[in-house]
Amino acid sequence: MWHKISLSRFRLMIQLTMLFLMVYGGSLVGYYAAEKISNALPVLSCAYDKQTGGYCVLIPLQHQLHHRIGEALVAAQTFSLNVLLPLFFTIVSFFAFYVVLGKAFCGWVCPLGTVQELMGKLGRRLNIQPRFIAPEQVGKVRPIKWLMLLVLVLLFPLLAGMGVTPHVTGDSFCQVCPSRILTTVMTGDWEQLAIATPDVVSTVFGVVANLLFGFILLVALAYRQPFCRGCPLLAWNSLFQRFSLMRLVKVEHSRCDKCSLCHQACPMDIPEIWREHGNKAFHEDCILCGRCAEFCPDDGVIHLQFAKWRWFSSARDYYKSRSRTENAKGELKRVSIPLKDVQNALKQAVDKPDA
Amino acid sequence: MRFKWFGLLALVWIAGADAGDCSLVGADWKNLPHFMARPDKGGLLAQVRGMQIVGAEYWSAHTSESLVLGQSTRLTEGNYHWLQASGDWHGCSTDLSTAYYNNMGKGDAPTEMLLLTKAALEIIPQPLPREHWRYRGGDAWSFLVRWQGQPLIDAGVLFVDSLGNAQALRSDDKGMVRVVFPDFMPDEMAHDAHEAAGHNQQARRGFALWAVAPDGSSLAGFDYHYAHNASYQHSLWYGVGLAVLGMLAAVGLFVRRKKAKKRRQSIEGEGA
Ligand code: SF4
Ligand code: SF4
């Protein structure tokens, strides 16, 4: 299969289909939450989008922390099953999806991930030079996603439920999520782009959200997957990464020291894919896009694996054909046809018009 | 667009179209019956005021049971419920309905439940606003008018709300009526019992849709609420401006880096 179509192209087709389903799929799957693909998808498909095909897990997670656990704590109830059951259902349905596809949700399904990637492709076409985060800098960016998860998704909704922070903090992450603005604007609905002004906290959230949305959208022309690096869903997904059937496997290889192509290819700038092997190479930041496996020039070093089935493995021949149009960094190669060949072809066409 | 107190004219028009004993002439928000439903002790407390009740029933996605008005009812299924009270209003057989949502963590969609035939004359939201959504001022939503289970074409429908707005509407060839909710900014909200601040502290007002059976034998009403306009206390222009500012910051990042790189290259060139 991979001789006929590259993994990247195959992934792009899936991403575009999923983008359609996540942003406009409500007309196919149904209108009400119970009819959606799931209410606990591990991707940023926003419930504020009237036509979405499924909801992001962060909505019920924040909602339950806010309205059930936080409020129950204040009412001094003991943690009854009634309070914890919905949270349990959310995590179980998320987990059911997650065990099968794991991090592939980030690299293959998430609408915001896809749009950032498309912006990156546009950037290459516009000749904007791709930028990378150096291995010694990545460590500074990595804690952001955990902070976002702990503070915006878990802490603030709980505090809002307890009445400590204002009501609007009950879905703090949604308030700043660029996917909320992006996916609704994509359906022609401008409402989420408007800044709420009833109180200072709402306005601050709105200011942050819109600045972030504008920034992420254009910075993606040069930096690959800028929002993914701080996405709380990446952190949440990575908690379950080791349980997933879908995984990235790298075996130890002697030539890696002098290579680093996989690291250059990685849209998340993960140096571990080059420097480590085994569990450490499948890093918490990995979005299972498979670019590292595509651009590894050696046979059978990096694999995309579902349970025991290695459905894509690095291979020299594949690498050679893949790098004809694009290098590991994502820069497009100009295919130059010598002028002499063009002249000859034209001459032949003029001499023998029927040929 | 304001429709205040145009109700009477609308009613004359509707009454003229539908011959029979039942009519909505003289009906307005204040004298029409109303359905109230709210959470109570982990269940539902439903009440109807303004009409003599013969019976009441509620439907969930898979079940239907009789509803005791004025008493807390424990719902066994989660999500959407349809509440209906039958009785007499001004000597006319009347079915009044409302919808009620309770989140029990899980529950089915109301698509089929809404379309079940529950009365001879019905006004059915198509769809009901789902979770994370609501009827709002300025928005347009559709309702299906049915008579004996079939779409009722060219039926007169009266819209009234708690501020006295009224619209006379007609169903299309599929029996659908499109309601554009009047603009609503909370400072003009009337303080009546029907209008509590809702789940998201959204100010809301009551509205009702009413129709007369083609043979004039009965009336049907759907009583619910809508929230303020989406634009209330929201600024799209500030939003667009801030997004553009974010974009400029991103562009600034490339340009600065590009210039720095060029400078570095020229210094290196001079040094060589
Ligand atoms: S490590 Fe490989 S699969 Fe993971 S994000 Fe980087 S390139 Fe993609
Ligand atoms: S591309 Fe392959 S050979 Fe090169 S460093 Fe990565 S794993 Fe090793």
ipTM score for this prediction = 0.85
Ligand 2 probe mutation, A249, A272, A302, most atoms within 8 A of CB: A302
Q: Residues of B with CB below 8 A from A191's CB?
A: 230, 234
Q: Considering just the CA atoms, what is the radius of gyration of chain B in Å?
A: 25
Cβ distance A167 to B200 less than 8 Å, yes or no, reads yes
Kindly state the tokens that stand for B182: 């009047």
How many angstroms separate the CA atoms of A180 and A193, rounded?
Answer: 9
Residue A333 lies in a domain: no
Residue A331 lies in a domain: no
Q: Residue A190 CA to chain centroid, in angstroms?
A: 23
**Which residues of A sit within 8 Å Cβ distance of B?**
30-35, 47-48, 50, 59, 85-86, 89, 128-129, 131, 167, 181, 190-191, 193-198, 206-207, 210-219, 221-222
Q: Which of A236, A266, A292 is the last residue of a domain?
A: A236
Residue A84 lies in a domain: yes
By C-alpha distance, which of A319, A233, A247 is closest to A280?
A247
DSSP structural state of residue A108: I
Query: Which stretches within chain A are classed as H helix?
Result: 7-24, 26-29, 58-64, 71-74, 81-101, 104, 111-125, 135-141, 143-147, 156-161, 172-176, 178-186, 200-219, 232-239, 261-265, 272-275, 291-295, 316-322, 339-351
Residue A135 lies in a domain: yes
Q: Is A302 in the pocket of ligand 2 (CB under 6 A)?
A: yes
What pLDDT is stored for residue A89 in this prediction? 65
Kindly report the nearest CA distance between residue A137 and chain B, in angstroms. 16
Residue A354: count other Cβ atoms within 10 Å of its Cβ: 3
Nearest CA in chain A to B80: A32
Same domain, A121 and A59: yes
Q: Is A296 in the pocket of ligand 2 (CB under 6 A)?
A: yes
Same domain, A52 and A82: yes
Same domain, A250 and A232: no
Same domain, A183 and A270: no
Q: Which of A208, A236, A264 is the last residue of a domain?
A: A236
Same domain, A168 and A43: yes
Looking only at the bridges linking them, the beta strands covering B218-227 and B92-102 are parallel
Cβ distance B111 to A190 less than 8 Å, yes or no, reads no
Same domain, A114 and A217: yes
Kindly report the nearest CA distance between residue A71 and chain B, in angstroms. 14
Cβ distance B236 to A193 less than 8 Å, yes or no, reads yes
The region, left, alpha or beta by phi > 0 then psi within -120 to 50, assigned to residue A163 is: left
Ligand 1 probe mutation, A266, A284, A306, most atoms within 8 A of CB: A266
By C-alpha distance, which of A229, A215, A213 is closest to B253?
A215
Kindly state the tokens that stand for B200: 């998201």
Which residues have any ligand 1 atom within 6 Å of their CB?
A 248, 265-268, 270, 273, 286-292
Q: Residues of B with CB below 8 A from A196's CB?
A: 233-234
Same domain, A35 and A118: yes
Number of domains in chain A: 2
Say if CB B228 and CB B203 are below 8 A apart: yes
What pLDDT is stored for residue A97 in this prediction? 72
Same domain, A140 and A270: no
Q: Residues of B with CB below 8 A from A195's CB?
A: 234-235, 238-239, 242
Same domain, A224 and A268: no
Kindly state the tokens that stand for A178: 């660029």
Q: Is A329 in the pocket of ligand 2 (CB under 6 A)?
A: no
Cβ distance A195 to B239 less than 8 Å, yes or no, reads yes
Kindly report the nearest CA distance between residue A208 and chain B, in angstroms. 9
How many angstroms separate the CA atoms of B51 and A28, rounded?
Answer: 42
Residue nearest to atom 5 of ligand 1 (CA): A286
- Burial (CB < 10 A; 0-12, 13-18, 19+), residue B123, is buried
CA distances from B69 to A35, B18, B73, B195 (A): 31, 31, 9, 20
Q: Residues of A with CB below 8 A from B136's CB?
A: none
- Ligand nearest to C-alpha A304: 1
What pLDDT is stored for residue B270 in this prediction? 54
Residue A188 lies in a domain: yes
Residue nearest to atom 8 of ligand 1 (CA): A289
Q: Which pTM value belongs to this model?
A: 0.83
Same domain, A217 and A252: no
Mutate which: B76, B131, B257, vs A, most A CBs within 10 A: B131
Q: What order of strands is seen across the sheet that includes strand B218-227?
A: B64-66, B52-59, B79-89, B92-102, B218-227, B204-212, B156-161, B166-170
3-class DSSP string for chain B: CCCECCHHHHHHHHHHHCCCCCCCCCCCCCCCCEEEEEEECCEEEEEEECCEEEEEEEECCCCEEECCCCCEECCCCCEEEEEEEEEEECCEEEEEEEEEEECCCCCCCCHHHHHCCCCCEEEEECCCCCCCCCCECCCEEEEEEEECCEECCCCEEEEEECCCEEEEEECCCCCEEEEECCCCCHHHCCCCCCCCCCCCCCCEEEEEEEEECCCCCEEEEEEEEEECCCCCCEEHHHHHHHHHHHHHHHHHHHHHHHHHHHHHHHHHHHHC
Residue nearest to atom 2 of ligand 1 (CA): A292
Q: Residues of B with CB below 8 A from A217's CB?
A: 246-247, 250
Residue A114 lies in a domain: yes
Same domain, A218 and A293: no
Q: Which of A236, A254, A275 is the last residue of a domain?
A: A236
Mutate which: A46, A71, A81, A195, vs B, most B CBs within 10 A: A195
Please state the CATH superfamily assignment of the domain spanning residues B4-228 in this structure.
Immunoglobulins (2.60.40.10)
Residue A80 lies in a domain: yes
CA distances from A171 to A15, A174, A323, B228 (A): 27, 5, 44, 21
Say if CB B223 and CB B98 are below 8 A apart: yes
Low-confidence ranges of chain A (pLDDT < 70): 70-71, 74-94, 96, 334-339, 342, 349-350, 352-355
Nearest CA in chain B to A48: B132
Q: What angle do CA A153, A202, B1 make, to 5 degrees?
A: 125
In order along chain B (272 residues), what is the average pLDDT of each group of 10 residues?
43 44 91 94 91 95 92 89 96 96 82 95 96 90 97 97 93 97 73 39 83 96 94 93 96 75 61 46
What pLDDT is stored for residue B2 in this prediction? 41
Say if CB A15 and CB A116 are below 8 A apart: no
What pLDDT is stored for residue B185 in this prediction? 82
Residue A330 lies in a domain: no
What pLDDT is stored for residue A355 in this prediction? 42
Cβ distance B80 to A32 less than 8 Å, yes or no, reads yes
Cβ distance B109 to A214 less than 8 Å, yes or no, reads no
Same domain, A160 and A132: yes
Which residue's structure tokens are 């009044």?
Answer: B96
Domain containing residue A194: 7-236
Cβ distance B247 to A215 less than 8 Å, yes or no, reads yes
